[in-house]
Structure 1
Amino acid sequence: MPRSSSVIPCLRYADPGAAIRFLTEAFGFVEKLVVPSPDGGGIIHAELVTGEGEARGMVMLGGDRAFFDMRLPKQAGGVTDCLYVVVKDADAHCARARAAGADILEGPLDRDYGSREYVARDPGGYLWDFGTYDPWADPA
């Protein structure tokens, strides 16, 4: 079974360009596709990837234009979700994120279920949980 997921989170940011810069610098995402707005005044869609081989993941993002009932965390008055990303070395990943200005809320620490992880908030207000627990891995 492939380890990549067909579920792709989609996030909205007030400044998608700044979000892309932060997510690539702090969390190590890589730009796959960035679609500028026709007037050149912003970004209407972007796809960022992480991981390698079969263990790749993606987030899509866009601006704060109306999209059904989606709200930015600040508009909604809080965050209702957290994105979990599998990483090989949570301590090194956290150090990179901290150096890039990420708001580290917890960790790195060891969880009861065997994961080493940390939680960070990005400038858009979203919560990210980076950990070594890999739900796709074969049990030992």
Structure 2
Amino acid sequence: MPQPAPAVRPSVIPCLRYRDAPQAIDWLCATFGFQRQLVVADEHGGIAHAQLALADGSGLVMLGSLHDNEYGRLMRQPDEIGGCTQSIYVVVKDAEALYRAAVDGGAQIVIDIKDEDYGGQGFTCRDPEGHIWSFGTYDPWH
């Protein structure tokens, strides 16, 4: 179901690739509260393109299955390179509730929930395929 566009649409949208994109979509929605905005299957049972939105419409990630094509050859999975070269930060109202959901969903917590020196509270975790996600109440816009 399409979500309403936020008053100011983000112009930077993280894009991820997953070995099992259908499972990743299910997990990201169930664990982090994303909602399917658009999911386009490919001819191989994977995902050609997906857009997952935050429930309030304030953020979006795009993802798809790994493919041996021009774009796919540019992307490497965290386990292939021994870590990540980027992470995603999501501003949330209740970091403790999302922390509990992440733990319950099987996310690997890599930085436990804590109060930050610069304000807010947050934590960092890995999703089942090793991508790094940080969630916190620190809002750089306010």
Q: How far does the alpha carbon of each residue in 1:48-99 deviate from its partner, in whole angstroms, 9 at most, with x for none? A: 011525xx10000011113151111122232111100000000011101111
Question: Which residue matches 1:5?
Answer: 10
Deviation of residue 26 (structure 1)? 1.0
Q: How far does the alpha carbon of each residue in 1:98-120 deviate from its partner, in whole angstroms, 9 at most, with x for none? A: 11111111221000001100111
Point out where structure 1 has 5 or more consecutive residues left out of the alignment.
none
**Which whole-Å CA distance do the structure 1 matches of 2:25 and 2:78 have between them?**
17
User: Which of 33, 51, 56 is matched with 1:52 structurally?
Assistant: 56
1:91 maps to amino acid: E
Question: Which residue matches 2:141?
Answer: 136
CA contact (8 A) 2:35 2:55 kept: no
Deviation of residue 135 (structure 1)? 1.4
**Which whole-Å CA distance do the structure 2 matches of 1:70 and 1:38 have between them?**
20
Q: Does 1:33 align with 2:35?
A: no
| RMSD across aligned positions (CA) | 1.5
Q: Does 1:69 align with 2:74?
A: yes
TM-score when normalising by structure 1: 0.88
1:113 maps to amino acid: Y
- The count of residues paired between Structure 1 and Structure 2 equals 133
Higher relative contact order (CA 8 A, sep 6+): 1
**Which whole-Å CA distance do the structure 1 matches of 2:33 and 2:128 have between them?**
15
